[in-house]
Amino acid sequence: MLHPKYRWVGLHREDSVASLLGEQLEIPKILASLLVNRGIQDVQEARRFLQGTMSDLHDPFLLSGMQEAVARIRRAIEQDEQILIYGDYDADGVSSTALMICLMRHLNARYEYYIPHRSKEGYGLHIAALEPFVERGFTLIITVDTGISAVEQIAYARAAGVDVIVTDHHEPPETLPEAYALVNPKLPYCPYPFKGLAGVGVAYKLATALLGDHTPAAWTELVTLGTIADLMPLTDENRILVANGLKAMSYSSFPGITALMGVSGYAKKATEEVSSNHVAFGLAPRINASGRMSYADQAVALLTTENIEEAEKIAEDLDILNKERQLLVDRIVQEAVAQLAEKEAEGSIPHVIVLAGEGWNPGVIGIVASKILDRYYRPTLVLGIDPATGICKGSARSIPGFDMYEALTHCKSLLEHYGGHPSAAGMTLQREQLNHLEEQLNRYAEGVLREEHFVPIMQTDLECSLSDISLPVIEQMEGLAPFGMGNTCPRLLIRGAKLIESRALGKEGKHMKLLLSQNGTVMEAVAFGKGELLSQLTEQARVDVVAEASINEWNGSRKPQLVIQDLAVPHIQVFDHRGSRYPVNKMNEVRSNLIERQSLEQHMIAVVTMEDSNALKNYELNDTPCWIYDKDVGVIPSNTAAFKNGQSRDDIKILFVLELPESPEIWHKMMGSFSALERVYLFHSARDKQEALHPPSREQFKQIYALLKHQVTAPVNEEELISSLIQRTRLSRRMLVMTLEIFEELGFIYRQMGTVMMNQAPAKRALDSSRRYLELEGLAEMEQILHHAGIPQITQWLMTNQQNVS
């Protein structure tokens, strides 16, 4: 058995609605079902989702404050005022700033831009940063991806005679700044129908309000970059903007984007457009590296330069910065995990994890928080402490069910500044408030989080079989792209596929490749980052997988392929180490791997063997629960570790079989007593085939009885008789001894003092009326299976016996 990493939750699907939608749109039902799962149930909405164009975008003037913002910018341009664009250092903020620069250039405005330094200044507007521009006579400030919480800073600008237009998408605070115009779809009074715009999306709406149909189509590339990087939902108009932006990126009008795609390894193929994955994992990290490791100005320069040579130089610099960022993240993650281990040693892992360290670069702690969350699945805050000032700047990442912005609002008296979303946030506070923050957050979490919140959930779109996943179906699914937040690539649940082959893939075997079979359909599957699971998969296991369907193109050939997101083996598994030269040494090696790499605890593992076992005599097994076979109850504890469990077997998941019992009855009682068993590792020695038992047949018994009648006309020596029968029947000595015991029980022969005599007038009795015959039948089956059968046959035998016991 192999447990999935996630709890799989199937989306509720109305089959009748999907069937009707499929008929109306003339699309396959599987595609219609995926649309219904995305909340799309009528034809008009479905067509807009599948075929939406730029003309389907919402009117920008539906945004509150847009009318005032447009009028003020036009007046500033007419009067040749100096305009300051004030942005943010992340990829959304950089994209927003770059788009606003493009707009200012287009309008021939006098402008400059400013982005604060992440670690030296932190997020948001700062009076110290505004002062030089006020002194130089700037009269209009336009914020992008920031400003909605800047009450004091905007009050300062207003008092100095400077108007501020805020364009933002972050959660508005209770007290709003008194800006000239606030443009944010999340304002409680804003009637804009779509609340999921990124900061760059709001900036783009301002551009379209100013330029109308003359807005350059290429600017959707910047919208795409910021929207994907900031994990905004790819639904509604974000979907339209990103779809158009990805197409434009294939032949980008921005030298910086072209250069960035080059250093990130994107090589355009004739049939391949830029995908949301290319942006999320190739472009966005390198744009973010600028603000994380240095000044974000580099990234802004990259996106706004019109010189390809300059773009290529900056792109190379950002690529180097990104590699440095990766090394820095790895180091801080190690330190953070060590710090959390100390907390865990003092108790359990807290509901909300708060970790802080001196010198931790505030530019990368958000990534560290994400990695800690992925490992422990707890809301996580990671903060860098300035040792000189004691100021802590942090980033938070959260799980569904725990609104991080709301939680920080609950603790706002401890914070100097905070902002963000339900799933991610940033904050600044003094060092002496750290412990108080951790305490308050965990008290708040106790009233919000329950046990089920700590199990990560993976939503599956629909359950299907391998035969449903054909090339045409996959091509139709691609019509749902671009994929991302709010519109994930369809996750398909396939149950009971047979594992034909498995092997490591990539450097150091970090990935794995599987070959799956189901009802005659065979399909390849890859599982990235799951190479460690190879040792937990057995030959021909029946696996359940959640996977995304893709098309594997190689040498002109195209075939379906699964990209596995999670997998499970729902049945007991058997691992074959039969006949190992040093079985206990091998068992200890396997046990260490289970404890160290698979996080199993010692008490979950048990060894079972015979009472007079050499393994028990020659090896120290006191640290592992050891049980010996017992004919009455199956097994009984034999060492301190087993007794320590109070003879409880309910938590034992792993069983090491060092020796087989004397009878199948004992085996079945033993297996039945370990009710939670998931895996069986066989270490018993292989029995010599010359001593093998065979399932008895009536013809075989008739043959032996006929030979006895012919040979035993008078009392004969049993050993001599057995030697003769071995020559005539080719059966093992054990088999013939048990046969004689059966004949004796049935009254066909007499055995006395080492001799055998025939009963000349035996009563007629059926073979299966002999208890010894039934024992031979069961023992032969058990030995044939456990000594000589392959792992698939042993697994099926154990599963059948488990079902019979239950």
Residue-wise pLDDT tens digits, 321-341: 999 999 999 999 999 999 999
What is the full DSSP assignment across 486-536? TBPPPPEEEEEEEEEEEEEESGGG-EEEEEEEETTEEEEEEETT-GGGGGG
Indicate the residue among 636, 655, 686 that finishes a domain.
Answer: 686
Q: What is the predicted pLDDT for the residue at 646?
A: 53
Q: How would residue 271 be classed by pLDDT, with cut points 50, 70 and 90?
A: low
Strands 626-630 and 605-609: parallel
In sequence order, the β-bridge partners of residue 8 are 458
| Of 476, 488, 566, 545, nearest in space to 38 by CA | 488
Q: How many CA atoms lie within 13 A of 703 on its CB side?
A: 12
Q: Cα separation of 235 and 197, whole Å? A: 10
243/295 same-domain check: yes
List, in order, residues 6 or more apart from 86 with CB less than 8 Å away: 113, 114, 115, 125, 129, 130, 141, 142, 143, 144, 146, 147
Q: Average model confidence (pLDDT) for the chain?
A: 92
| Of 149, 11, 176, 6, nearest in space to 88 by CA | 149
Q: How many domains does the chain have?
A: 5
**Does the structure show a pLDDT above 80 at 463?**
yes
Q: Cβ(105)–Cβ(168) under 8 Å?
A: no
**Does the structure show a pLDDT above 80 at 806?**
no
Q: Tokens in use for 450?
A: 């329950």
Q: What is the predicted pLDDT for the residue at 616?
A: 65
Task: Phi first, then psi: give them for residue 115, nearest 5 degrees.
Answer: -125, 125
66/176 same-domain check: yes
Q: Which of 101-110, 188-197, 494-503, 760-769 has the lowest mean pLDDT?
A: 760-769
Q: Cα separation of 199 and 97, whole Å? A: 10
Q: Cα separation of 644 and 641, whole Å? A: 5
Class of residue 376 by CB neighbours under 10 A (exposed 0-12, middle 13-18, buried 19+): middle
Q: Tell me, yes or no, whether 28 lies in a domain.
A: no
Q: Find the radius of gyration of the CA atoms of the chain.
A: 36
Q: What is the pLDDT of residues 626-664, one digit of tens each?
A: 899 999 999 998 888 888 765 567 889 999 999 999 889
Q: Tell me, yes or no, whether 51 lies in a domain.
A: no
Q: Tell me, yes or no, whether 258 lies in a domain.
A: yes
Q: Tell me, yes or no, whether 365 lies in a domain.
A: yes
695-726: burial string, b at 16+ Cβ within 10 Å, e else: ebeeeebeebbeebeebbeeebebeebbeebe
Compute CA distances 619 → 151, 614, 686, whole Å: 73, 8, 20
List, in order, residues 6 or more apart from 787 with CB less than 8 Å away: 578, 660, 684, 686, 687, 692
Q: What is the predicted pLDDT for the residue at 561?
A: 97
Q: How would residue 30 be classed by pLDDT, with cut points 50, 70 and 90?
A: confident
List, in order, residues 6 or more apart from 488 with CB less than 8 Å away: 459
Collapsing DSSP to helix, strand or coil, 569 comes out as: strand
Q: Cβ(577)–Cβ(683) under 8 Å?
A: yes
423: domain CATH number?
A: 3.10.310.30
147/290 same-domain check: yes
154/301 same-domain check: yes
469/439 same-domain check: no
Q: Does residue 285 have a cis bond before it (omega within 30 degrees)?
A: no
DSSP one-letter code for 588? H
180: domain CATH number?
A: 3.90.1640.30
779: domain CATH number?
A: 1.10.10
304/413 same-domain check: no
Q: Tell me, yes or no, whether 48 lies in a domain.
A: no
233/160 same-domain check: yes
What is the full DSSP assignment across 339-382? HHHHHHHHSSPPSSEEEEEET--TTTHHHHHHHHHHHH-S-EEE
Q: Cβ(780)–Cβ(695) under 8 Å?
A: yes
245/291 same-domain check: yes
Indicate the residue among 396, 428, 454 that finishes a domain.
Answer: 454
536: domain CATH number?
A: 2.40.50.460
Residue scoring higher pLDDT (620 or 43): 43
533/672 same-domain check: no
Q: Cβ(167)–Cβ(63) under 8 Å?
A: no
Class of residue 161 by CB neighbours under 10 A (exposed 0-12, middle 13-18, buried 19+): exposed
Q: Cα separation of 126 and 124, whole Å? A: 7
Q: How many CA atoms lie within 13 A of 56 on its CB side?
A: 20
Class of residue 427 by CB neighbours under 10 A (exposed 0-12, middle 13-18, buried 19+): buried
What is the full DSSP assignment across 634-683? EEEE-SHHHHHTTT--TT--EEEESS--SSHHHHHHHHHH-TT--EEEE-
CA 660 to chain centre: 39
Q: How would residue 615 be classed by pLDDT, with cut points 50, 70 and 90?
A: low
| Structural domain harbouring 668 | 573-686
Q: Cβ(184)–Cβ(148) under 8 Å?
A: yes
Collapsing DSSP to helix, strand or coil, 369 comes out as: helix
Q: Tell me, yes or no, whether 72 lies in a domain.
A: yes
Q: Tokens in use for 168?
A: 């933002």
Indicate the residue among 454, 485, 500 that finishes a domain.
Answer: 454
**Does the structure show a pLDDT above 70 at 679?**
yes
Q: What is the pLDDT of residues 42-80, one digit of tens each?
A: 899 999 999 999 999 999 999 999 999 999 999 999 999
Q: At 214, which helix (H) or strand (E)?
A: none
Q: Cβ(523)–Cβ(469) under 8 Å?
A: yes
Q: How would residue 585 be classed by pLDDT, with cut points 50, 70 and 90?
A: confident
Q: Tell me, yes or no, whether 633 lies in a domain.
A: yes
Distance in angstroms between the alpha carbons of the first and the last residue of the chain: 17
Q: Tell me, yes or no, whether 410 lies in a domain.
A: yes
What is the full DSSP assignment across 247-284? HHHTT-S-HHHHHHHHHTT----TT----HHHIIIIIH
Q: Cα separation of 646 and 640, whole Å? A: 10
114/258 same-domain check: yes
The torsion defined by the Cα of 623, 628, 634 and 640, in degrees rounded to 10, comes to: -40
619/701 same-domain check: no
Q: How would residue 270 be classed by pLDDT, with cut points 50, 70 and 90?
A: very low
**Does the structure show a pLDDT above 60 at 315?**
yes
Q: How would residue 588 be classed by pLDDT, with cut points 50, 70 and 90?
A: confident
581/634 same-domain check: yes
Q: What is the predicted pLDDT for the residue at 597?
A: 80
Q: What is the pLDDT of residues 563-572, one digit of tens each?
A: 999 999 999 9
